[in-house]
């Protein structure tokens, strides 16, 4: 019973730490503005991550193409999650290229990449960000721990507070993702 309660207490403490740093809200707004501008200009958002972060990347994209809170037009977003692409690319080139190859195929100037890495050091996310930069795309990264290599690679970085395990970072990331989607929806309604 204590382990269950402690999970919630630790999650609460991490969330409070995040909330108490005003820079986090500035970073979320900055990332949201980048995404809104891309969508208003007719561009798209490509999201990617590994494991649970891939699930978060998929969730981000489906909430934009589908529906989050209110009915609205579908928004151009895609997660790099096609299993045939992932298995083909990892077999032929190596797993560190699974996201960058997608960006090379579909990324255009003005698009945005959302790279999610709880360590900030996932080599395949780093390669995807590098590929995005080569295509004049904007870069938003969700990180954890000390931000890792990705901490200096984005136009906007949103970092979960340091914790021992990635699940605490993922809990912050999903709240950030929902906040970004809500921000995008509110801004696009204002722009009508």
Cβ burial of 173 (10 Å; 0-12, 13-18, 19+) is buried
The answer as to CATH 3.40.190.10 being correct for domain 2-191 is: no
What pLDDT was estimated at residue 101? 98
- Dihedral sign computed on CA atoms, order 43, 58, 12, 182: positive
Q: Strand pairing partners for 156? A: 140
Assigned token pair, 4 = 């269950």
Q: How many CA atoms lie within 13 A of 33 on its CB side?
A: 9
Break the chain into its structural domains and give their ranges.
2-191
Q: How many CA atoms lie within 13 A of 66 on its CB side?
A: 9
What pLDDT was estimated at residue 70? 86
Q: Give the position of tokens 């900030």.
A: 120
- Tell me the per-residue pLDDT of 79-123, one tens digit each, with 9 for 90 and over: 999 999 999 999 999 999 999 999 999 999 999 999 999 999 999
What pLDDT was estimated at residue 107? 98
The string of DSSP codes covering 65-115 is: HS-SSS------EEES--HHHHHHHHHHT-GGGHHHHHHHHH--TT-EEEE
Per-residue pLDDT of the chain (192 residues; tens, 9 = 90+): 899 999 999 999 999 999 999 999 999 999 999 999 999 999 999 999 999 999 999 999 999 999 999 889 999 999 999 999 999 999 999 999 999 999 999 999 999 999 999 999 999 999 999 999 999 999 999 999 999 999 999 999 999 998 888 999 999 999 999 999 999 999 987 665
What pLDDT was estimated at residue 163? 84
Residue closest to 161 by CA, chosen among 49, 46, 26, 23: 23
What is the residue-averaged pLDDT of the chain?
96
CA distance 89 to 100: 10
Decide: helix, strand or coil at residue 23. helix
What pLDDT was estimated at residue 161? 95
């Amino acid at each position: 019973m204590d382990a269950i309660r402690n999970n919630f207490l630790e999650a609460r403490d991490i969330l409070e730490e995040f909330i108490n740093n005003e820079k986090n809200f500035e970073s979320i707004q900055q990332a949201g503005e980048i995404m809104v501008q891309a969508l208003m200009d007719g561009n798209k958002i490509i999201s990617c991550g590994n494991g649970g972060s891939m699930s978060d990347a998929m969730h981000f994209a489906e909430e934009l193409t589908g529906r989050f809170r209110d009915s609205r037009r579908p928004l151009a977003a895609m997660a790099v999650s096609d299993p045939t692409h992932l298995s083909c690319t990892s077999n032929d080139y190596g797993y560190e290229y699974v996201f960058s190859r997608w960006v090379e195929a579909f990324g255009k100037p003005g698009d945005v990449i959302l790279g999610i890495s709880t360590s900030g050091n996932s080599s395949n996310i780093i390669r995807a960000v590098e590929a995005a930069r080569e295509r004049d795309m904007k870069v938003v990264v969700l990180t954890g721990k000390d931000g890792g290599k990705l901490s200096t690679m984005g136009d906007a970085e949103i970092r979960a507070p340091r914790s021992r395990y990635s699940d605490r970072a993922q809990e912050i990331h999903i709240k950030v993702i929902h906040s970004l989607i809500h921000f995008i929806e509110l801004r696009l309604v204002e722009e009508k």
